[in-house]
Structure 1
Amino acid sequence: MIKTPLSTVIGGAFWTPKATILGGTSKTFDQLIKSLFANGEQGFVYDPNDLSTMFQDAAGTVPVTGAGQPVGLILDKSGRNNHAYQTTSSSRPILRKNATTGAYYLEFDGSDDFLQTSNIDFTATDKMSLFVGLYMSKSVLQMIMETSTNYVANVGAFELNSGEITSGGYVLAYRATNNTNQYSYQPVKPIPRSSVIVGKINMGKQVYNAEGGVLLRENATSTDNIYSGSHIGGAFGSYPLYIGRRGGTALPFAGHIYSLIGIGRLTTDVETIALEKLIAKNTGVTLSV
């Protein structure tokens, strides 16, 4: 990997604007996911565009066959069996199809829809890479995903929300072992809009510098990151993942999710850009890379 003057460093991996993947052929989504988790990394991958991974009930007995049906269970494609489910029928997101891109997505109603997993054990890592393709329809404070029922009260938990600090801006944060919140957030952004979000957390690096802490990137452009607290060390925890609602009780998400991926390491430039491009194609976002 080559570092350029435009590169942002985080844990040995760089984000370089307009970087090009050289050599070989582009991988399909499934091929890329398989390579991402080839070394036993912990994580999760939810792909609404793969109908074979979804069921209308939480028990997984009624397959999802097309748009307009509820999703009570979506299988994890990371190979770690961190499947996401919803036992209450009225709180299940609905599968829809984008008429322009042809891609499927989960529609969350902004009221009581959410999915959750059993505990995901991230205690062996202090690094995290997150990828989300979404459409957001409201500018209110809303939870996209969060480990534990509230990350503020649980060391090693993390969250991605919108609207907490600035209208339409995303926030990526985690709770450090010294009980401070480390976060990165964006300025005011227009709503509604579609986004490909990449978040990277490195607990082993000091915040307030270019090498670590929390970094947030939207549509292949790094934001004006603002950090809080000061901490080195620690690891993530073992908590359920909640998608679309804090702890299943608050801050409901109003919008669409096309892809949701988390991996317990920092992805490389090549991996990051490849995932962004694949997610952007489904989401209908034009990237600058």
Structure 2
Amino acid sequence: MATQARVAGTVKIDGVAAARDVIVIKDDPAGRQVVADGHSEADGTFDITYSDWAGSVVVLALDEYGDEFTTGTALNMGQVVHPATPNGYVYKVTAAGTTGTEEPTWPTTGSVQSGGVTFAPRPYYRPIASGPLQGDVATVQGPASLFLSGEPGVWLDPGDISTLFQDAEGTIPVRFDGDPVGLILDKSGNNNHVGQSGSRRPVYRVIGGRGQIQFGHSKFLQGLPVSVFSGDYTALWAGWVSDDNSVGVAVSTGKNVSRLAFYVDTRTSPRRLALVSVVPGDTYCDLPIDVGPAPHVFVSDRNGLITRGWLDHMEASPSSIQIAERPDNNVLYIGYQFAGGVYFDGFFSGLIATSVLNDSVREDMRTWLAERAGMQL
């Protein structure tokens, strides 16, 4: 869980609404710091959200001070400068050009010219502070809590039908059981969407009141390179295979090689959970249990040279470690492994990948995905 708060108001200068840069400072005597910044609109209003601070804040509105005047400088219309020796005014360019060879004498009314540039003076208003203020605080739960401050990752959620479209362009929404899925929007805010067109599109299904995506031979979704897989990460997906004689890769990254592949093979003994390609090599995580046609949550961690895998709460035993560098472009595939040409025959309930590595996050996301898959851990 994480906290998210918002503070809103209106900036006025001499009783008149004004557009200004606005910063929000947490009012913590142990360490005051900026938690967010934004700006007020032409009508003076601002509405700014910030994360991980539930206490009071101070809001500061800043006037534009501009750059210090320099000679021989090209300036555009609307730019602002201030004198080398402050006089309580700033000067806005009303006619563009290049400044002259000497700094002018700065008036407080009328206009002044330097070279080909004409300036108009206006008072400089020192920062206006308001506070302490208590923002409106809400607790953010689930995967959304991982991406409040633009952290890298991906979050695909077939249970949220508003993120599903029948076409790769995102113009035709998915509405009913049986509709093809040509696009899933990434809810992390990182635009790691995955899509497909034509006959390769998987199908939307509603099972137990929950949205799932059904994959089969030649059906898969493909995205762009996902930066989170270039470093340490936790990745989780939920779903299940179609039958007891299935082999497939539900989630993978890479093209010529796979940096991550959730590889499920119900034909082998012991059952194979995942292939995790990391630096320095490949780790196959094996489980001595049946991972047949029932919902599960699959988890993989990469932390430096340490790779771990879980099926639900059971940690897998790593084997078949090859010492080899395996860099690639980390293209994201759902329902397919490009490197091995292995499709997934089963149902996909969701994917979360994050650079946040800890037991609490792993447990919270595991529980969240389990609910999406219609299971209890």
Contact 1:151–1:159 (8 Å) recurs in 2: no
Q: Distance in 2 between matches of 1:31 and 1:237?
A: 33
- Label 1:249 to 1:271 Cα distance change in 2 as closer, same or farther (>3 A): closer
Give the aligned partner of residue 177 of structure 2. 67
TM-superposed deviation, 1:195:
0.6
2:213 aligned with 1:106: yes
The AA in structure 2 aligned to 1:81 is: N
TM-score, scaled relative to structure 1? 0.73
- Label 1:74 to 1:274 Cα distance change in 2 as closer, same or farther (>3 A): same
TM-superposed deviation, 1:167:
6.1
From 240, 246, 258, the equivalent of 1:135 is 240
Q: Name the SS for the 2:372 alignment partner.
A: helix
Stretch of structure 1 that moved more, 254-263 or 242-251: 242-251
TM-score, scaled relative to structure 2? 0.57
TM-superposed deviation, 1:161:
0.7
2:290 aligned with 1:189: yes
From 187, 191, 216, the equivalent of 1:77 is 187
Q: Distance in 1 between matches of 2:272 and 2:221?
A: 23
Contact 1:151–1:175 (8 Å) recurs in 2: no
Q: Which has the higher contact order (CA 8 A, sep 6+)?
A: 1
Which is higher, the Rg of structure 1 or of structure 2? 2
The AA in structure 2 aligned to 1:67 is: D
- Label 1:159 to 1:165 Cα distance change in 2 as closer, same or farther (>3 A): farther
From 123, 148, 151, the equivalent of 2:257 is 151
From 53, 56, 78, the equivalent of 2:163 is 53
The AA in structure 1 aligned to 2:233 is: M
The AA in structure 1 aligned to 2:262 is: L
2:201 aligned with 1:92: yes
Structure 1, unmatched stretches of 5+, are 1-26, 206-212
How many residues in Structure 1 have an aligned counterpart in Structure 2? Answer: 238
Q: Distance in 2 between matches of 1:63 and 1:77?
A: 16
Contact 2:246–2:345 (8 Å) recurs in 1: no
Q: Distance in 2 between matches of 1:126 and 1:236?
A: 11
The AA in structure 2 aligned to 1:128 is: Y
From 226, 230, 235, the equivalent of 1:120 is 226
TM-superposed deviation, 1:239:
2.5
Contact 1:172–1:214 (8 Å) recurs in 2: no
Q: Distance in 1 between matches of 2:359 and 2:163?
A: 28
Q: Name the SS for the 2:189 alignment partner.
A: coil
Q: Distance in 2 between matches of 1:59 and 1:159?
A: 27
Q: Name the SS for the 1:169 alignment partner.
A: strand
The AA in structure 1 aligned to 2:279 is: A
Q: Distance in 2 between matches of 1:167 and 1:93?
A: 29
Give the aligned partner of residue 374 of structure 2. 284
**Structure with the higher fraction of residues in strand conformation:** 2
Contact 2:236–2:299 (8 Å) recurs in 1: yes
Give the aligned partner of residue 172 of structure 1. 275
Structure 2, unmatched stretches of 5+, are 1-137
2:301 aligned with 1:200: yes
TM-superposed deviation, 1:251:
1.2
- Label 1:261 to 1:251 Cα distance change in 2 as closer, same or farther (>3 A): same
2:346 aligned with 1:241: no
Q: Distance in 2 between matches of 1:161 and 1:63?
A: 30
The AA in structure 1 aligned to 2:236 is: F
TM-superposed deviation, 1:117:
0.2
Q: Distance in 2 between matches of 1:238 and 1:249?
A: 16
List per-residue Cα deviations over 1:164-202 (Å, max 9, x = no partner). Answer: 96464311311425xx32342323525222211111111
